[in-house]
Amino acid sequence: MNAYAFTAEERARIEAICQKYPTRQSAVMPTLWIAQEKFGELSPPVIRLVAETLGLPSAHVEGVATFYTMYLTQRKGKWLLELCTCFTCGECGGRELWDYIQTTLQLNDEGVTPDGLFWFREAECLGACDTAPVLQIEGRRMVFSVNPEKLEKVLEQLRRGELPAFESVFIRNPE
């Protein structure tokens, strides 16, 4: 059996996505996301699977997967954590937090902790400047107003295999 295959349910989901677009090429991004969630990374065999599933050249799928930073062609740690160090986050403590992370967690040149559990990258704007600095986990969970203490709590949860609880930044209109 091929280790890289979509289930019937996943194929149906991909076909439903394809129906939303005028061409199958338009479904590359959501299909890559499905593949990344399933396999953890978009290695060459996974790229080929996506290409075959959509009936597209592998080179096109690889081009999309390597262009966008949200797609991981090679996973380097169990948990991917991206800290925004763009202007606002950088000025609100993001640069200092990045230095703290590198030193305290002893990241290697690729941003991975010695135990391989955490893979840190700097991120460009994550679109939550009002709650800077911001940390994104696995491209989906955001942690706002991060400081060293909050970071340590998040890392402890991840060590237990738990994502931090969803944080809402919605502020109600006082009227």
Strand order, beta sheet including 135-137:
118-123, 79-84, 135-137, 141-143
User: Can you list the domains of the chain with their CATH numbers?
Assistant: 8-67 (1.10.10), 79-159 (3.40.30.10)
Helix axes 28-39, 58-67, angle to 10 degrees: 80
Confidence at residue 107, expressed as pLDDT on a 0 to 100 scale: 96
Confidence at residue 166, expressed as pLDDT on a 0 to 100 scale: 83
Per-residue pLDDT tens over the stretch 14-39: 999 999 999 999 999 999 999 999 99
Confidence at residue 90, expressed as pLDDT on a 0 to 100 scale: 93
Q: How far apart, in Å, do the first and last CA atoms of the chain sit?
A: 61
User: pLDDT grade, residue 169 (50/70/90)?
Assistant: low
Confidence at residue 53, expressed as pLDDT on a 0 to 100 scale: 98
* Residues recorded for the chain: 175
Per-residue pLDDT tens over the stretch 98-150: 999 999 999 999 999 999 999 999 998 988 999 999 999 998 899 999 999 99
Q: Exposed (0-12), middle (13-18) or buried (19+): which is 36, by Cβ within 10 Å?
A: buried
For 111, phi and psi rounded to 5 degrees? Answer: 85, 20
How big is the chain by its Cα radius of gyration, in Å? 18
Structure tokens at 152: 């340590």
Classify residue 111 as left (phi > 0), alpha (psi -120 to 50) or beta: left
Per-residue pLDDT tens over the stretch 31-81: 999 999 999 899 999 999 999 999 999 999 999 999 988 899 998 999 999
CA dihedral 40, 109, 148, 90 (to 10 degrees): -100
* Helix locations, 40-171, DSSP H: 44-54, 58-67, 87-89, 95-104, 148-159
Residue 140 one-letter amino acid: R
pTM of the predicted model, to two decimals? 0.77
Cβ contacts of 175 within 8 Å, gap of 6 or more:
none
